[in-house]
Amino acid sequence: MLVGLYPRAWRERYEEEFVAMLGQRPASVSDLVDVAFGVLDTWVRPQVVSEGGRFVIPKMRSSLLAVLWAWVGFVAAGVGFQKMSEYEDFVSAARENPVVGISFETVVVGAIVALAALVVGGAPIVLAAVREALAEGRRDVPLLFCVPLFSAAAFVGYVLVLGKIIYPTLGRLAVHDVVNVALFLSLGGAFLLAAAASAAAVSVAVSRGKIGARFYRFALFPGTLVALAMGVVLVATVVWGLALRAQAPALFSGDEGVLATPTAASWLAIVAVMAVRACAALAATVRGLRARRGTVS
């Protein structure tokens, strides 16, 4: 049973009532996920506020961090969509067909809204964690929050090296050339590595901070907006593909996808990743909002 994975000190104090509480309700996947997140959070930062046996601060925190991780994966899919749709054929289709153009603009606006909501919700938590760490003379939390900046700088540096040094040296490469594919995959890998390192560092930093419940309660509303914006972007991306298929079937059935792969296959892969991430974010916000009702001021 997952409860056995909690630290011994925690189990000695809370296991009996926690197991009794779980036994009073039907088993569900949601409870399984909550317990798993609780195990991880308790080992990283044994800071809890109980309400009827449920530890609401860690639950809100884990929900918000789940939204962050879902958003990171969603952004990766969004980058793939941007890379594919930047080609002139797609730009022309967006200009000529209102549905394709409006759906593309909706994707852009939704992405901006999600990013803005993430910043609005996360900034107070980051500031509170840094302030608390500095007051205690600790440097680990501020340094962890610097990882996203270092990761972004490293990624931009790699892009510049590829664009200014490596590609000019190699000369003109075919789209399906092994070297070109390898370099493109390395670029995607570098992006994913930077994004994962940033999200992991933020997750650890937030888990180590003694942050009050009010910051999480506030952040859940922008977090919900992030999840909703991701849903809007997902729907707009689906509409974009369907409209393109209807209005420019030759383009949709051609090989204008990422790395000259089939357009339809690239679009479907992007939609699939977006759908999984958007659903994960929405589920996380629902768990967080439920926990929010149990917090105390």
For residue 277, pLDDT over 60 is answered with yes
Q: Whole-number mean pLDDT of the chain?
A: 85
Tens-digit pLDDT profile for residues 103-139: 999 999 999 999 999 999 999 999 999 998 998 888 9
CA distance 181 to 179: 5
Mean pLDDT of 199-213: 87
Average pLDDT for 193-213: 89
262-268, long-range: CB < 8 A, 24+ apart? 263/84, 266/80, 266/84, 267/81, 267/84, 267/237, 267/241, 268/241
Q: Lowest-confidence range among 30-39, 149-158, 280-289?
A: 30-39
Q: How far apart are CA 23 and CA 177, in angstroms?
A: 59
pLDDT for the residue 8: 62
Angle (nearest 5°) at CA 43 between 41 and 49: 55
Q: Tell me what pLDDT residue 183 has.
A: 86
Lowest mean pLDDT of 10-14, 67-71, 223-227, name the range.
10-14
DSSP type of residue 164: I
Residue 99's pLDDT is what? 94
Look at residue 171 in the predicted model and tell me its pLDDT.
Answer: 80
Q: What is the mean pLDDT of residues 217-222?
A: 92
Give the separation between CA 240 and CA 233, rounded to whole angstroms.
10
Name residue 51's beta-bridge partners.
54
- Name the band, by pLDDT with cuts 50, 70 and 90, for residue 211: confident
pLDDT band for position 212 (cuts 50, 70, 90)? confident
pLDDT for the residue 259: 77
pLDDT (tens digit, 9 = 90+) per residue, 46-97?
Answer: 444 444 434 567 888 889 999 999 999 999 999 999 988 888 889 999 999 9
Q: What band does 2 get if pLDDT is binned at 50, 70 and 90?
A: low
Place of tokens 């790395």: 259
